[in-house]
Amino acid sequence: LLIFLKLSLFKSDSLVVWAVGPDGAIFWYFCIFSLIPCRRTDVLLMSPWLAPIVWEGTFNRDILNAQYRQKHLVVGVAMFAVKKYIRFIEGFLHSANKFFLSGHRVNFYLFTDHPEKVPSMTLSPEKRLFIIPIEPYSRWQDISMNRMNIISSYIRSRWRHEVDYLYSMDIDVQLFEHIGVEIIDTLVGTISSWQYTKTRENNSYETRPESRAAIPRGEGDFYYAASFYGGIVSEVYKLTTACFKGIMEDRANGIEAKWHEESHLNKYLLYHKPTRLLSPEYYWDEELILPHIVRVKRLSSVHKNLKEVRF
């Protein structure tokens, strides 16, 4: 039995201890930062590059909250509600106000082509909503891919002065359980819920070599959802800038990646490893049946007719 000690990428908050059996399986994991043993034998708790994977039962939020409140951090959330997606604003904000980083300062940055249709809502005192008008795009694919450029531009001009951490979230989701400071780290990716229904070979990476988002067949470790990612502002700036550069190079060559900005996100995170991974608890696709390993569904997509809302 091999025992490893590691100063975790939770910065100064944690020391992680785990045991690896003869077959390489991680079967005991102590979250010293939360003062509780995290006995999860049914899921992967550490990435191959030793980044923690956050699951229910692997942290103590009360202790983490006490530590992070002393740091007086501000977290930004960028989301986009364009065209028919404005119908999801109220549900998102209502659930995020209740469940997202409760008790911590959060700036919600809502980009929309219909600012006059944003419902009036009273948020918690520590949360603020900024409505930012944008021009509409003719295709939903363009809306999706231009998010990277908009986020990058606003980091450079504004957000680097306003927030410490920044996350991008889809607007057509709702939160059902608390999402707290366990998500905070340098660079954070969310493992796609589809990864738990298909083998790695069947993940939806872009594989065409002519695309800047291409990942060669057989490579890749996790498939990440573009619906929820983030980190410190400087790292999110690097990510969004690089992804948009790849998108523009593809566009110049008449190429559109298989899953648009998500394909470019996965290419970036393959070579710039996240320092923390969120399990599919943090973004579950409602099309899928919830497996027993997902004990808590914290955030999930809203059931909708994609053809109707996109066109």
Judge whether 175 and 99 are in contact, CB under 8 Å: yes
Tally helices (H) and strands (E) across the chain: 6, 14
Q: What is the CATH number of domain 73-310?
A: 3.90.550.10
Residue 38 pLDDT: 57
Residue 310 pLDDT: 63
Residue ranges covered by each domain of the chain: 2-59, 73-310
Residue 202 pLDDT: 52
Mean pLDDT of 227-253: 97
Residue 298 pLDDT: 97
Looking up tokens 């006490």, which residue turns up? 66
Known active-site residue 210: no
Mean pLDDT of 67-83: 94
34-43 as b/e: b if 16+ CB within 10 A: beeebebeeb
- How confident is the model over 89-124, as pLDDT tens digits? 999 999 999 999 999 999 999 999 999 999 999 999
Report pTM.
0.86
Residue 140 pLDDT: 66
Mean pLDDT of 66-89: 94
Among candidate residues 219, 262, 287, 308, the one labeled active-site is 262
Between 65-79, 171-185, 202-216, the lowest mean confidence (pLDDT) is in 202-216
Amino acid code (one letter) for 293: I
Between 31-45, 169-183, 203-217, 276-290, the lowest mean confidence (pLDDT) is in 31-45
| pLDDT-derived band at 294, boundaries 50, 70, 90 | very high
